[in-house]
Structure 1
């Protein structure tokens, strides 16, 4: 089989009507022969492997992204609930102090605690 391919390649080189590309292909076939086919097959296998890994990575990225968005929504809801509770607590304490003289120290401590809770 290889001998026949070599003979055909030599014949193609000797034919005048052949264009330059076919002459180059014939020379490649003479020099590399069956190795080119093996290389092409290996490259195709690698290409398929890379594409499958790429799809796996894209699926993983999509999963991680959705989990992060859910966690962010959960944290946002939790923070909003805590802020609402703090506002209610301050409102309750201020309403108790409504008829009394406002204690500036107590009020400042409440605002400091509110600020610390928001910062968390």
Structure 2
């Protein structure tokens, strides 16, 4: 343990003497290392910020794409329902052609599964 020493009526810390000696011996190297560490730290923080911004941009693009796809899918399903209703309206009101109706349902199922 390093203790404080009293010299000429003043208390001087031994730690400060050791720090002064370190600075004399290793001063330039320590400053160079500190400078390099700060440069690397700054570069890492800059890259981190760039990556966070890129992630946010991609998230926005994905959400927009999902919205567009959902809208497109809803439009296609509505068009398909309209087409099916139109075909059903053209059928004879007394008797529905089961084969035609089953083909329409099969086509509807295939279009839905393709989406």
CA RMSD, 1 decimal: 2.3
State whether structure 2 residue 85 is matched by structure 1 residue 91: yes
Length, aligned pairs only: 107
Q: Which residue of 2 aligns with 1:9?
A: none
Normalised TM-score (structure 1): 0.74
State whether structure 2 residue 56 is matched by structure 1 residue 62: yes
State whether structure 2 residue 20 is matched by structure 1 residue 33: no
Query: Which protein has greater RCO, CA pairs closer than 8 Å, 6+ apart?
Result: 1
The answer to which structure has the higher helix fraction is 1
The answer to which structure has the higher strand fraction is 2
Measured in 1, the distance between the counterparts of 2:62 and 2:34 equals 42
Structure 2: state its 5+ residue gaps.
Answer: 6-10
Normalised TM-score (structure 2): 0.77
Measured in 2, the distance between the counterparts of 1:84 and 1:91 equals 10
Q: Quick one: structure 1 residues 35 and 113, their matched pair in 2 at CA, closer, same or farther if it must change by over 3 Å?
A: same
